[in-house]
């Protein structure tokens, strides 16, 4: 009988480990910011202070409830789209990564501001 009592506990522990493994691969806030810094995102944007581009807080407030916004932001931060800065058209530099998980983490970070 003792081994039957241990079996559900073992299954539960395994399930927690598997769930943890899935979330353990997510990037931390500091890892996302590090990637964004490496990609020069903070040259034009800041979390809440105006620069040449809108703040991440403004971007999130304006866009977070729009349908398909994550897909649109994914494209914006992975391609050289044109943006207007002080009346001048410039390429919006993409993230310096091709890793899907890292890109999605940045999109989620932006929308969470």
- Alpha helices (runs of H) in the chain, residue ranges in sequence order: 2-24, 29-38, 56-63, 69-76, 100-111
Range of the domain at 86: 27-111
Q: What is the CATH number of the domain that holds 45?
A: 1.10.760.10
Q: Cβ distance 56 to 42 under 8 Å?
A: no
Q: At what angle do helices 29-38 and 100-111 cross, to 10 degrees?
A: 100
> Is residue 14 domain-resident?
no
d(CA 93, CA 83): 10
Report yes or no on 62 lying in a domain.
yes
Q: What is the pLDDT of residues 16-48, one digit of tens each?
A: 334 444 444 489 999 999 999 999 999 999 999
Which of 68, 58, 73, 37 is closest to 113 using CA atoms? 58
Residue 72 lies in a domain: yes
Number of domains in the chain: 1
Q: What is the pLDDT of residues 51-66, one digit of tens each?
A: 999 999 999 999 999 9
* In a domain? residue 43: yes
């Amino acid at each position: 009988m003792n081994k039957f009592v241990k079996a559900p506990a073992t299954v539960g522990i395994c399930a927690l480990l598997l769930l943890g493994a899935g979330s353990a691969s997510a990037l931390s806030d500091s890892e996302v910011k590090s990637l964004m810094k490496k990609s020069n995102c903070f040259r034009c944007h800041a979390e809440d202070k105006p620069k040449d581009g809108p703040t991440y807080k403004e971007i999130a407030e304006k866009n977070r409830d729009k349908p398909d916004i994550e897909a649109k932001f994914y494209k914006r931060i992975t391609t050289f789209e044109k943006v207007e800065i002080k009346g001048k058209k410039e390429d919006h530099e993409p993230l310096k990564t091709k890793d899907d998980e890292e890109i999605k983490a940045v999109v989620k970070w932006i929308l969470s501001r």
